[in-house]
Chain A
Amino acid sequence: MSRGRPALPPGAWISVVVLASLLLMALLAPWIAPHDPLAQDLANKLQGPSADHLLGTDRFGRDVLSRLMWGGRNAFGGVAICIAVAVLLGVPWGTIAGFWPRYVGTVLMRISDVMIAFPLLVLAIAITGSLGVGLVTSMVAVGLVLAPNTAQLTRAGVLATREQDFVASARLSGVWTPILLVRHVLPTALRPVVIQMTIYTGLTFVIQGALAFLGLGPQRPTPSWGSDLNDAYSQILSAPLLILPPGLLLGVVVLCVYRIGDALRDRMSSNLSPDNRKENDVVVA
């Protein structure tokens, strides 16, 4: 009698496990990293993998593996900041615009239209420039840039949900509007937003790498996947393999995030589709 939820496909499970272990590795970096990520050893620079340095050393002789572990803290933390900003700003923005669409909503949506008209990365760079360069500021900037998109998607969901009969019923019962929004409107309206956030999570890893690559993220010598990628890129002729660890890692993380997002989307749309609803309509004796 319980609503059977389709199990996550194996690919999504693998992605969850990979991401969880990378996150754990980043969190435990101070204890498990084999070397100090900042310690230079110029005598052993640009070494290939060895027992002491499992992924080799960079151009200052720093341990690549340790830097990736420590860099993961910045990567995951930065993405969390970015998504938090996008959600905390975009969801209330879109909710208000969707529930009061006539005047307030029109104004709010024109503001988001203007922001969306700028290319994402350019706007993020501009905001970072005005806030000051750094991990937190660059990620807040990306969050600010993603917020109008989040708001528009939220608004679309709220607009559709507020017309539903169960929302009308609650309104007729005099349910207080903030409670109405939290209890009845948002759980349904935010389903597409949840999926969108997984896409943004993947996107943010890439943007974060790009901003760090451009020197707008964490400043040297702080370990970061993007700036390590930049370092490796500068040595591409002398040590071409050095670009692989941070590049592959970034790619794997993004793929895993997208795979989980896909699985979430399939699962939610199967819950929403009329076919499935009919199935659930079966009388329970």
Chain B
Amino acid sequence: MTVDSTLPARRGHGHPAPALRVSDLVVRYGNRRDAVRAVDGVSVEVARGTTLGIIGESGSGKSTLAKAIAGLVPVTSGTIAIAGPEGKPAPAASSVGRDGQVQMIFQDAVLALNPGRPVWKSVVEPLVPHRLTIPRELRDRAVELLGQVGLGPEIADRRPGQMSGGQRQRVTIARMVAARAPLVMCDEPVAALDISLQAGVLRLLDELRGTFDLTYVFISHDMSSIARIAHDVGVMYLGRLVEVGPAREVLQAPRHPYTQALIRAVPRVARGARDAEVQLLEGEIPDARRPPSGCRFRTRCPFAQEICAREEPRPEAVAEPAPGGGSAHQTACHFWREIRAGTAPRQPR
């Protein structure tokens, strides 16, 4: 499956080349017999200075996608093209971190910081990657960076164990800023934080993206985080991208039955909302070692027909790209038209 869309300039940035182009990416874990295709033929582009949100259940392969782009897991096949500074092509994308082009923010910041070192050293480490010791003079720079993420100078000499979860995540964000990588993988960066802290960290990430013209791939299973931060949204199921498009369209007018089910499963805190309106997706995500034939979602899809087991649906554009630019809304479902029109027969359950 490919999602081919030439991404025109957005929001007046005037950078025609995408910051990231992933083509037909496959990441396989394990040996041949029991290999898990965690990412199985994903193609997507992210325009410079924008955020691509990736949603999906646990096991959908979204974290693996981020790690593969960062070079932390080996790619089985496909290509990852990362634009260098000023839109020049980046060096051959084969190394970990892609020669400093990619940074990553992890879900659990306590695991993402060396527990035995004061945090200022972690923050400025990307500035001196070849020095055996981190020069004391860089402490001032670290304090400055910590200030940029809303942390006071007293944080600098603490160890990760002496800080709150929100503070720790801000420290890893400060390190990301120090590294000056144009492309950042955010792997559930707020999922481990209290709800009250999530908004602040999301706002910080979005501000930094604007200030430093960063490009994010934002992995989450939380619709509200995605809705807040993403310009485009991709929906993953069992290693495949089943729907992709501008965030507003995908979240408000989802075309794939899986996306629709995911969005319906979100409990709403609103007047008049009843529990009955929350519809949970039935069943579990199938074993990725033996994915269903044809459309992978068919085993849980209320609209599945005989063709779904036989033929893999190709991604189709469901709407024209908006005139102001933006990626086309595409989905991979045989019956998206019928489902939209309300004429698709439901399987009796």
Chain A interface residues toward B at CB < 8 A: 1, 3, 164-166, 168-176, 179, 182-184, 187-188, 277, 280-281, 283-284
- CB pair A169–B130 under 8 Å, yes or no, is no
Whether, in the assembled complex, B233 has its beta carbon less than 8 Å from a beta carbon of chain A, the answer is no
- CB pair A166–B161 under 8 Å, yes or no, is no
Which of A166, A187, A284 has a CB less than 8 Å from the CB of B113?
A: A166
Give chain A nearest CB distance to B149 CB in angstroms: 15
Give chain B nearest CB distance to A179 CB in angstroms: 6
Bound together, the chains give a CA A166 to CA B165 distance in angstroms of 15
Bound together, the chains give a CA A284 to CA B167 distance in angstroms of 11
Which of A3, A172, A183, A280 has a CB less than 8 Å from the CB of B114?
A: A183
6 contacts between A and B (CB under 8 A): A3-B159, A164-B111, A166-B115, A173-B179, A174-B97, A183-B114
- CB pair B129–A174 under 8 Å, yes or no, is yes
Give chain A nearest CB distance to B248 CB in angstroms: 32
Whether, in the assembled complex, B278 has its beta carbon less than 8 Å from a beta carbon of chain A, the answer is no
Bound together, the chains give a CA A15 to CA B232 distance in angstroms of 64
Q: Pick the 4 closest A-B CB pairs, nearest first.
A: A173-B126, A280-B161, A172-B97, A165-B112
Given the complex, which residues of A lie within 8 Å of B125, measured CB to CB? 170, 173, 175
Given the complex, which residues of A lie within 8 Å of B164, measured CB to CB? 281, 283
Bound together, the chains give a CA A166 to CA B192 distance in angstroms of 16
Question: Interface code B151-170, partner A: CB below 8 Å = 1, 0 otherwise?
Answer: 00000001101111100000
Say yes or no: A176-B129 contact (C-beta < 8 A), given A3-B159, A171-B96, A281-B161. yes
- CB pair A174–B161 under 8 Å, yes or no, is no
Within B34-85, which residues are at the interface with A (CB < 8 Å)? 70-72
Whether, in the assembled complex, B276 has its beta carbon less than 8 Å from a beta carbon of chain A, the answer is no
Count chain B residues whose beta carbon lies closer than 8 angstroms to a beta carbon of A.
38
Whether, in the assembled complex, B26 has its beta carbon less than 8 Å from a beta carbon of chain A, the answer is no
- CB pair B106–A169 under 8 Å, yes or no, is yes
- CB pair A1–B162 under 8 Å, yes or no, is yes
Chain B interface residues toward A at CB < 8 A: 70-72, 96-97, 99-100, 102-104, 106, 108, 110-117, 122, 125-126, 129-132, 158-159, 161-165, 172, 175, 179, 181
Bound together, the chains give a CA A173 to CA B103 distance in angstroms of 7
- CB pair B100–A284 under 8 Å, yes or no, is no
Given the complex, which residues of A lie within 8 Å of B97, measured CB to CB? 171-174
- CB pair B112–A174 under 8 Å, yes or no, is no
Bound together, the chains give a CA A184 to CA B97 distance in angstroms of 17
- CB pair B126–A174 under 8 Å, yes or no, is yes
- CB pair B106–A174 under 8 Å, yes or no, is no
- B108, B116, B165: residue with the most chain A Cβ atoms closer than 10 Å: B116
- CB pair A171–B161 under 8 Å, yes or no, is no
- CB pair B72–A171 under 8 Å, yes or no, is yes
Say yes or no: A174-B99 contact (C-beta < 8 A), given A168-B104, A187-B116, A281-B164. yes
- CB pair B114–A277 under 8 Å, yes or no, is no
Least CB separation from A176: chain B residue: B130
- CB pair A173–B129 under 8 Å, yes or no, is yes
Bound together, the chains give a CA A187 to CA B114 distance in angstroms of 10
- CB pair A3–B162 under 8 Å, yes or no, is yes
Least CB separation from B99: chain A residue: A174
- CB pair A172–B103 under 8 Å, yes or no, is yes
- B113, B129, B158, B172: residue with the most chain A Cβ atoms closer than 10 Å: B129
Give chain A nearest CB distance to B156 CB in angstroms: 13
Least CB separation from B125: chain A residue: A173
Given the complex, which residues of B lie within 8 Å of A184, measured CB to CB? 114
- CB pair B165–A165 under 8 Å, yes or no, is no
- CB pair B175–A173 under 8 Å, yes or no, is yes
Given the complex, which residues of A lie within 8 Å of B72, measured CB to CB? 168, 171-172
Bound together, the chains give a CA A193 to CA B346 distance in angstroms of 60
Bound together, the chains give a CA A165 to CA B112 distance in angstroms of 4
Given the complex, which residues of A lie within 8 Å of B129, measured CB to CB? 173-176, 179
Bound together, the chains give a CA A168 to CA B106 distance in angstroms of 10
Least CB separation from B179: chain A residue: A173
Give chain B nearest CB distance to A6 CB in angstroms: 15
Given contacts A166-B111, A171-B96, A179-B131, 17 further A-B contacts (CB under 8 A): A168-B104, A169-B106, A170-B114, A172-B71, A172-B97, A172-B104, A173-B129, A175-B126, A175-B129, A176-B129, A176-B130, A179-B132, A184-B114, A187-B116, A277-B110, A281-B161, A283-B163
Say yes or no: A169-B162 contact (C-beta < 8 A), given A175-B125, A187-B116, A281-B110. no
Given the complex, which residues of B lie within 8 Å of A281, measured CB to CB? 110, 161, 164-165
- CB pair B104–A166 under 8 Å, yes or no, is no
Bound together, the chains give a CA A170 to CA B126 distance in angstroms of 7
Say yes or no: A277-B161 contact (C-beta < 8 A), given A169-B106, A176-B129. yes
Bound together, the chains give a CA A277 to CA B163 distance in angstroms of 11
Bound together, the chains give a CA A280 to CA B164 distance in angstroms of 9
Given the complex, which residues of B lie within 8 Å of A172, measured CB to CB? 70-72, 96-97, 102-104, 179, 181
Least CB separation from B187: chain A residue: A165
- CB pair B112–A169 under 8 Å, yes or no, is yes
Give chain B nearest CB distance to A176 CB in angstroms: 5
Bound together, the chains give a CA A169 to CA B189 distance in angstroms of 14
Say yes or no: A166-B114 contact (C-beta < 8 A), given A1-B162, A174-B129, A281-B164. yes
Least CB separation from A280: chain B residue: B161
Say yes or no: A165-B111 contact (C-beta < 8 A), given A173-B125, A173-B129, A174-B100. yes
Bound together, the chains give a CA A280 to CA B111 distance in angstroms of 14
